[in-house]
Chains A and B, each alone.
Chain A
């Protein structure tokens, strides 16, 4: 399928999702749906580096928070100086750029070495950025920052619907980008890095450049997902913004769904995201994080290819068994069916 056609289908699906959400007539659907969509973006972004290149990023929270805190900083500036606040799409661009630059810098310093060093550095990045934010009074420090969400926005009505719509479009964009990468030269380059980096390097694949591209794209998408977050949550606090939940979710979702294609993170995010929305309401938020952790460990041990892999195996087993049984007579030369 060509990309414009795919994009058109995605937009149609998105329009349908928005329509259904409107049909509920209850704004809670938008609040819950926003979080799920946010995870669709985060896990798709994680998968561009993690699933396609095989480099594990533990710093999702850091990149996400970079986007969120650029919004807070700009919001404070416009509130202090009585400047008209920037619209959210522009804030997303800025958050994405900031996050992308940090991703590029981190990658430049650590991606030359073995993959484990990059992972450890991303893990530490979250701690350090949290330290910086806690010490930076302008964005609220450890007390946190308030961002006042406007009640209404003109054509759509309630502001949460607007945020939902924006996240929906970002999810469509992220999935389209991921699919585009998958079917391009870039994607094949990424796959060679994942399968055998040494061999790829030896056959002339510019591995460092490709890894940097992947890290930057992934960082930009995570930053963009973080930028509208202060408006969603209204009160942004370092502890929760840098929490491990984002990291564990954005790793668990692609691994549960399947890492080799754009479908995996989407399935994983919708499944785990909705499950958590339900579990948070019905049980408790600590228990649902435990469930995510257990699912992550269970899936990487038992089903390394994720749900996609399971489905593939199921689909392939059936015809294979079928063919296998027929092969006894069909395999004989000259006996075409």
Chain B
């Protein structure tokens, strides 16, 4: 094969950009799975829900999808808090989260997907925004704005999230709930409340991730499924619960997927994240930046 430098550079850049977006989908899972130990496999379904919210508002009022997503974040937060409350009182309180809790989230994933299919059909939906068409050219490198903007927004969101986790009281309490719930209780903090808040934040990020997804590509209800493996691969590879680790891992997987689809064809790309997942679990389960 003739080695093409242009192709390689472009594949690398687009991998990093798409990886930045993957980080937005993953940060919610890092929070829920990595820190709270809640295996929320329905997260990609909530991301798709976010995409559809952005789509509806964009199609009827012509609002910017990212702004819409930020405005509806409180609603997603409330949804997340409500789901955690059900999860807690039905499963976590009785120590049944491993089997029935997983089945619960799987059921949610399924209901969301089938519900969207029934309501919107399986047509691909897309949004309109000023930054969707144009592409920046730096020397030989193409920077399509429709991927660059989501990448930047995603990194910004993760930076804010990281600041909240490390600098604010609630954030530190969230980090603490992962380590020692009893100690937290002794400090007069209700661990259930903290977890509810954290899970609410986790679902709130899905709203933004959904808007970013529908900017990057047209969306139909079952698109979320291919993100399940990818998102958990990134979460595990980055080190459970580490947001900087998730960003690095997301870009790494983005690069490998982009190289795979450039040099072997796009139909092989979904296998990349699974390979990473199995390799990480077998070789270094603590991940790149695991504690």
Residues of A within 8 A of B (CB): 50, 54, 56, 58, 109-110, 113, 115-117, 119-121, 123-125, 127-128, 130-132, 134-135, 142, 194, 244, 247-248, 251-252, 255, 259, 286-287, 289-290, 292-294, 296-297, 300-301, 304
Contacts and interface: CB of A to CB of B under 8 A. Distances in A.
B264 to A, nearest CB: 9
B272 to A, nearest CB: 9
A128 B270 contact: yes
Interface string B248-291: 00000000000000000101101101110110011001000000
Q: Which of A128, A251, A300 has the most CB of B within 10 A?
A: A300
Contact of A248 (B110, B226, B265, B277): B110
Contact of B270 (A131, A286, A290): A131
A129 to B, nearest CB: 9
11 contacts: A121-B278, A123-B229, A124-B228, A124-B274, A127-B274, A142-B267, A248-B106, A293-B107, A293-B114, A296-B103, A304-B96
A110 B275 CA distance: 13
Contacts of A259: 99
A210 B61 CA distance: 58
Where chain B touches its partner, the secondary structure class is: helix
The 6 nearest A-B residue pairs measured at CB = A124-B229, A297-B107, A293-B110, A296-B107, A293-B111, A128-B274
A131 B260 CA distance: 13
B232 interface: yes
A300 B104 contact: yes
B282 A109 contact: yes
B124 to A, nearest CB: 15
Interface of B: 33, 39, 41, 86, 90-91, 94, 96, 98-100, 102-104, 106-108, 110-111, 113-115, 117-118, 222, 225-226, 228-229, 232-233, 236, 265, 267-268, 270-271, 273-275, 277-278, 281-282, 285
Nearest to B114: A290
Given A131-B267, A131-B270, A121 B281 contact: yes
A54 B102 CA distance: 11
A116 B110 contact: no
Contacts of A292: 110
Contacts of A117: 236, 281, 285
Contacts of A134: 267
B111 A294 contact: yes
B267 A286 contact: no
Contacts of B41: 58, 119-120, 123
Contact of B90 (A123, A131, A301): A301
Nearest to B89: A301
A259 B99 CA distance: 10
A290 B111 contact: yes
Contact of B278 (A110, A135, A286): A110
Contact of B103 (A56, A127, A287): A56
A306 to B, nearest CB: 10
A300 B100 contact: yes
Contacts of A300: 90-91, 100, 103-104, 107
A249 to B, nearest CB: 10
